[in-house]
Structure 1
Amino acid sequence: MTKRLIIVIVGCGVVFGAIFGMKWFGNKMMNDFVDAMPIPPATIGAGKVQTMTWDNRLEAVGSFVPVNGTDVTTEAGGIVTAIHFESGQKVKKGTPLLTLDSARERGEYERLKAQAELSELNRVRREKLFKLEAISKSDYDAAATEANAARAAVQSQAGVLAQKEIRAPFDGLLGIRRVNVGQYLSAGTAIVTLQSLDPIDLDFTLPEQYVGQAQPGFKVTVNVDSYADQSFTGEVLAVEPRIDSATRNFGLRARLPNPDLKLRAGQFGRVTLTLPGNRSLLVLPRTAVSYDSYGTSVFVVLKKKEDPNAPKPKEMPGAPAGPTTDLIVEQRFIKVGEARGDFVAVVDGIKEGEQVATSGLLKLRNGQPVIINNEGAPQPRLDPKPAEG
């Protein structure tokens, strides 16, 4: 029994040893095959880093504001008896907009007016008597003072009466009417919006480092989403002399002609401020740049360097042939500046003439073999436009 048990144990050991040995040998051959397999090259588009001369300009965003704009309100309360305008109407300064009930105020005005006339007659009589030395100078002065007070009361009541007639404070375009005939309005109730839109102002901000460059009179070009194929031009009207301590920006106001009233108050605009002179910058295609949380980088295309001391990979029967390219990519972090059109300026991290990958970035990593194929790829432009047709 003991011999049989030993024979069985030895036999099992030989069988399992052979199985595990074959498994190990197979895995080793598989690993050697994979290690000998070259990394397949990725097909990419590529562009060169080059020097360009750009006109000196700054870009910002801003909001349009009216030269004059307000919600027309009432100074006094009352019931609306007449409305003299329509929503969206253009009006001139002084145009009647709305009339409030003024019967009581008008009656008081007529009473004060009659009282002022009587006071003036009394003053004239007292003046004649004073000249005849029939009354004292103090009696005449009292009559004159009473007449002056009566005239002042009439003027005051005339002002109250004028508050019942609301007029346009300046030329402009009316908005949507917010009141109706017969409605009671309390003092300060908004009647309609009035905006002066031709010309129109644009407020925007720039970082503090440009405070010495931006000056009144410089030209601005503005684009808005409502008219994507049209640009609006104007010039800087004023530069804020104070820098905001919270944002470290300073404000500017530009004024633009707006005869067609296409631009409206509160509208968003992209501003290009033109400065004197030109700048020479190092640029690369914008599609080459990867923006990540850990930095801004590009893949630089380089010639693969062969190390004579490096061990050669084992050749395995049946393994595919190596890559047919001597180009690889290297990821490099850079510092970018202003972007314009299809290009972005490079401040640091790359040199003129170097080649960078512009497409297929998602399949790249350090040391990745690449094949460049720019056939059919659109050429980057400073002023890209949508393709026609």
Structure 2
Amino acid sequence: MKKIIIGVLVLGIGAAGYFYWPKQESNGRSGPRGPVKVVVTEAAMAQVRDEVEALGTLKANEAVSITPKVTDVVTEIHFDDGNLVEQGSLLVQLQDVEQQARVKAAKVKLEEQMRELARIRSLVSNKTVAELERDRLQSQLDTARAELEAAQSSLTDRRIAAPFAGRLGLRQVSIGGLVTPGTLITTLDDISVVKLDFTVPERFIAQMKPGKSVEALSTAYPDEVFVGTVSSIDSRVDPATRAVTVRAQIANPELKLLPGMLMQVKLIRDTREALMVPESAIIPISDRHYLYLVVEGKIERRQVTIGSRERGWVEITEGLTPGESVVIRGIMKVRPGSEVTTEQGERFTFKDKTDTERG
């Protein structure tokens, strides 16, 4: 029985070999291979930008917490949450009946002193009253003026107004509530222009100058770029991070940007000419970089020196000249000397691409 089974297996293997081996042999005889098809792009010079990328935080151009100077009861509220107000707009009125009475009394006293002094002056001129009496009344008049100013100041302190134009925050008080110095009534921010503070490595300090352009992106408005200019640079480098703080100003006419927002910043350092190729064309070997070029229908391998990178593109600083055809797809199918046919691929669009140094 065992011999019969072995015989059947041998016959099966033989039959399989009879039908399978010729097919494999036929498939293996491909003959001379034709040119391989690759995708190429033409190297070209164009304007690109050197940038420093960083993260920044927005601040209001002017910001203040509205608090009272005195202790008293709130009698009137003249704003709602988030209102836009002008400089000098009345926000809160505190109880001021007593202060108004003091102002009236001070005015009456001042007028009385002025009349008395006028009368004494006429007597002094006639030598009826000594000059000493006139001087005494002048001192009393000056004191009455000072008392009126103090009463008016106390009355003004009960009238809380906006120190500058801007947008108010949330209201924190109610009518009838007792407020004291330091009690938060609301916040006021001038955000018609916002300040953007961000840090850059100290190696870029020599290139940081007021007037440099910045572009900022926010996750709140992913499709909108906010453009501003550098206004100032901090006078100190942080010894822990070895970075310096740069402040830019961004116009905010639609009030979209708010204090505290996180922004992705691109500081434009320079605009220059550069030769860019797709990153897919780069062949890294150890610490060297190579490109496959198509020269007269054949593949040529060439060592190059790369510069900065930007989102799938690489700057070539040495080893390549504009106009040469660089293989960007099909690299794994060819070797130096291989004959190829080419298909034109995408070219680098320089309008929005930038050469980036990350901060």
Matched, 1:94 2:64: no
Q: TM-score if structure 1 supplies the norm length?
A: 0.62
Match among 292, 310, 314 for residue 340 of structure 1? 310
Matched, 1:222 2:212: no
Q: 1:105 to 1:345 in 2, by over 3 A?
A: farther
What amino acid is the match of 1:208? E
Match among 58, 64, 82 for residue 64 of structure 1? 58
More deviation, 76-85/275-284: 275-284
Match among 225, 232, 237 for residue 231 of structure 1? 225
What amino acid is the match of 1:119? Q
Counterparts of 1:114 and 1:226 in 2: how far apart (Å)?
60
- Structure 1 segments, 4+ long, off by >4 Å, are 50-53, 279-284, 296-302, 336-339, 343-347, 350-353, 378-384
What does residue range 253-292 of structure 1 map to in structure 2 within 5 Å?
253-278=247-272, 280=274, 285=279
Count residues with an aligned counterpart: 292
Q: In the alignment, what sits opposite 2:180?
A: 186
Which runs of 5 or more residues in structure 2 are unaligned? 1-39, 293-305, 335-345, 354-359
CA apart distance, 1:135: 2.5
Q: 1:129 to 1:274 in 2, by over 3 A?
A: same
CA apart distance, 1:123: 1.7
Q: In the alignment, what sits opposite 1:137?
A: 131
Q: 1:299 to 1:340 in 2, by over 3 A?
A: closer
Aligned 8 A contact 1:285 1:380 in 2:
no
Aligned 8 A contact 1:74 1:188 in 2:
yes
More deviation, 77-86/102-111: 102-111
What amino acid is the match of 1:105? Q
Which runs of 5 or more residues in structure 1 are unaligned? 1-46, 290-295, 303-335, 359-369, 373-377, 385-389
Q: In the alignment, what sits opposite 1:168?
A: 162
Q: Secondary structure at the match of 2:220?
A: helix
Aligned 8 A contact 2:276 2:348 in 1:
no
Q: In the alignment, what sits opposite 1:318?
A: none
Q: In the alignment, what sits opposite 1:83?
A: 77
Q: In the alignment, what sits opposite 1:213?
A: 207
Q: In the alignment, what sits opposite 1:104?
A: 98
CA apart distance, 1:344: 6.7
CA RMSD of aligned residues (A): 4.1
Q: Secondary structure at the match of 2:142?
A: helix
Matched, 1:119 2:120: no
Q: 1:232 to 1:103 in 2, by over 3 A?
A: same
Q: Secondary structure at the match of 1:200?
A: strand
Q: In the alignment, what sits opposite 1:30?
A: none
Render the CA deviation track for 1:322-349: whole Å, top value 9, x for unaligned.
xxxxxxxxxxxxxx986532347799xx
CA apart distance, 1:159: 1.0
Report percent identity of matched pairs.
27
Q: In the alignment, what sits opposite 2:302?
A: none
CA apart distance, 1:241: 3.1
What amino acid is the match of 1:140? R
Q: Secondary structure at the match of 1:201?
A: strand
CA apart distance, 1:180: 0.5
Q: Secondary structure at the match of 1:86?
A: coil
Q: In the alignment, what sits opposite 1:367?
A: none
Counterparts of 2:319 and 2:122 in 1: how far apart (Å)?
102
More deviation, 216-225/272-281: 272-281
Aligned 8 A contact 1:206 1:250 in 2:
yes
CA apart distance, 1:371: 7.3
Q: Secondary structure at the match of 1:242?
A: strand
